[in-house]
Structure 1
Amino acid sequence: MIQAPRKSNKMEQPRVEAKKKPKAVFVLGATATGKSKLAVAIAKRFDGEVINADKIQVHDGVPVITNKVTEEEMAGVPHHLLGVLPADAEFTAEDFRREAGQAVDRVLAAGRLPVVAGGSNTYVEELVDGDGAAFRRAHDVLFVWVDAAPELLWWYTALRVDDMVVRGLVDEARNAFLDVGGEAADYARGVRRAIGLPEMHAYLLAEREGAGEEELAGMLACAVQEIKDNTFGLAQAQVAKIQRLSTLEGWDVRRIDATPVFARMAESGATACDKQAWESLVWEPCEAMVRRFLETTSPAAPVVTVEDNASIAAGGGGSDGEPTNDAVLLALMVMVV
């Protein structure tokens, strides 16, 4: 007669199954360093989508002044949180953490790579470390920092402002200009916080009041110079913030020095970066580090399974029908690892 196998009283050992953490790439950098271009390139190469992390570009309106990425520059890559809010809407760092977190989840659910890019480092820090660093604990994160020497960054930010003037900065500011009875407009809310709008206020007010041509020309020159100064001041503040973030625990910040690219532009007098220089000095090292990052497995919190749950319910080896102290301790230790 064939006898049924005897059931062991020994508790089955829990089995720990390591799951991979979902990955996300962040592109950091001061204004005018080419974050948007690099984010799009990463997304195209690694089947990703871009989540905007610029607190001004999240609003609709003034695309020239905010230097919003164009449809052509997107190159078919889906972008999230770009121009989705009314011009005067409030959008706090906590709002960004919630909305950007949901966007990241949607991108991951589609089997694609989230690429978060933008110069509002307060937003980035809130997403990564807010709510008890829930995002950083749940995701494997790489931070790519595009940087350049200050003197070249000053040169290029000024060059870009001149280009914005050519592309319609003054008309765009004029269309957005609002004042009632000569009262100063509110430049502390929504898209109107953008550098390029407050600086133009005095000029536009004088223009509306019928100032002479010579006076207006001088005021416009002063406004444009103020935009350049404030833009470079923003860039310096952004660099300082990234330097601080790079010292924090859990922030894997990899710096890419784009100084030679800007230097070649300055030497040649070009207004756009040399494609070959950008690819060899910025894109290729970036592509290599992102590829290595994606190929590396970082385990998430382990999932604990037990082969025979009934053995625990029955006592897990205890002769009196209660689990032994050792069995309870082992189960608890495995569950909290």
Structure 2
Amino acid sequence: VTNKITEEESLGVPHHLLGVIDPDADFTARNFCDMASLSLKLIVNRGKLPIIVGGSNSYMEALVDDNEFRSRYDCCFLWVDVSMPVLNSFVSQRVDRMVEAGMVDEVRNMFDPTNADYSWGIRRAIGVPELDQYFRAETICSDKEIHARLLQEAIQAIKDNNCKLVSRQLEKICRLRDLKGWKVHRLDATHVFTKRGKEADEAWEKLVVAPATMILHRLLHNFGPEVYTKIIRAAEAAMATATH
């Protein structure tokens, strides 16, 4: 239900803070800041470049606004943007893939008919509360047509709520850029999402990886050549793991 990156997709690039939180924990922005700060220190101490990938813009904002973070680090914000019609279509297809991969059974294992509180932990994630009525119907009704209808309604609600979330995230990115003065570099990946296979990979390299690498070149030009080379190589490897 979290659509977490798979080991195969990570291509050997270390990813931090994935699968380390109890699903029932009420994980706050403050918790994220504390854990992210520790990971950042460990990465920097190894001479590597930490790349913070959202995720929740609220958590990202809390981290960047943290006094300790601001005193230690300079930031380069890369915004991989896609036009809303194309992105909404992609979100819908992604939900279908998540369902095919077993999301419904995963959420069923969390379902508790005595608990309708979806305000904490993993239970508040999009994809969990939407399936509540479907799971309740399974326990009290044997009509397969009703089950099928409720499941399709739940899946559509998951798609709709994901699209609403995307819209809110877009609004927040613009607010952080325009009102808070974040230096956000927009990378338009719309064309990537209209392609498949090799064409999509080539478009990703041209429209996202190449300009992002150039931005990092400009940011890091004051570093020594050895550190600079290591950081650029690490960043290029990390960008290559992004999926489209």
Alignment of 1:1-337 (within 5 A): 65-131=1-67, 134-180=68-114, 183-184=115-116, 186-249=117-180, 251-265=182-196, 274-296=200-222
- Number of paired residues? 223
Could you tell me how far apart the structure 2 residues matched to 1:229 and 1:296 are?
Answer: 45
Letter in 1 for 2:216: V
CA distance in 1, matches of 2:211, 2:172: 23
Q: CA deviation at 1:119?
A: 2.3
SS at match of 2:191: helix
**Aligned-pair CA distance for 1:95:** 1.6
In structure 1, how many angstroms separate the alpha carbons of the residues matched to 2:109 and 2:76? 40
Contact 1:80/1:103 (8 A) holds in 2: yes
Q: Hey, what's the Cα distance between the residues in 2 that align with 1:70 and 1:193?
A: 22
What is the SS of the residue equivalent to 1:97? Answer: helix
Within 2, Cα distance between the matches of 1:278 and 1:219? Answer: 38
Higher mean C-alpha deviation, range 243-252 or range 101-110: 243-252
Give 1:167's aligned amino acid. A
Contact 1:136 1:250 in 2 (8 A): no
Q: Distance in 1 between matches of 2:39 and 2:192?
A: 32
* Conserved 8 A contact 1:143-1:254: yes
User: What letter matches 1:172 in structure 2?
Assistant: E
1:285 to partner: Cα distance:
1.1
CA 1:151 to 1:93, structure 2 compared with 1: closer, same or farther past 3 Å?
A: same
> 1:143 Cα shift?
0.5
Structure 2: how far apart are the matches of 1:128 and 1:273? 36
Superposition misfits of 4+ residues, deviation over 3 angstroms: none
SS of the residue corresponding to residue 144 of structure 1 reads: strand
AA aligned opposite 2:192: V
Query: Contact between 1:146 and 1:255, CA under 8 Å: does it hold in 2?
Result: yes
Q: Secondary structure at the match of 1:114?
A: coil
Per the alignment, in what secondary structure is the counterpart of residue 79 of structure 2? strand
**Matched residue SS, 1:255:** strand
Q: Structure 1: which 5+ residue stretches go unaligned?
A: 1-64, 298-337
1:54-89, Cα deviation, whole Å (9 max, x unpaired): xxxxxxxxxxx1100111111112221111111111
Q: Per the alignment, do residues 219 and 84 of structure 1 end up closer, same or farther by CA in structure 2, a change over 3 Å counting? A: same
- 1:74 counterpart letter in structure 2: S
Q: Could you list the per-position Cα deviations for residues 159-204 of structure 1 after superposition, in whole angstroms to 9, with x for gaps in the alignment?
A: 1111111111211111221122xx52x2111111111110001001
Partner SS, residue 66 of structure 2: helix
Q: Any gaps of 5 or more consecutive residues in structure 2?
A: 224-244
Deviation of the 1:261 alpha carbon:
1.1
Amino acid at match of 2:48: R
CA distance in 1, matches of 2:106, 2:10: 22
- Name the SS of the counterpart of 1:73 in structure 2: helix
Alpha-carbon distance in structure 2 between the residues aligned to 1:66 and 1:94:
20
State the Cα distance separating 1:102 from its structure 2 match. Answer: 1.3
User: What are the superposed Cα offsets for residues 212-242 of structure 1, whole Å, 9 maximum, x if unpaired?
Assistant: 0011111111001000000000110111111
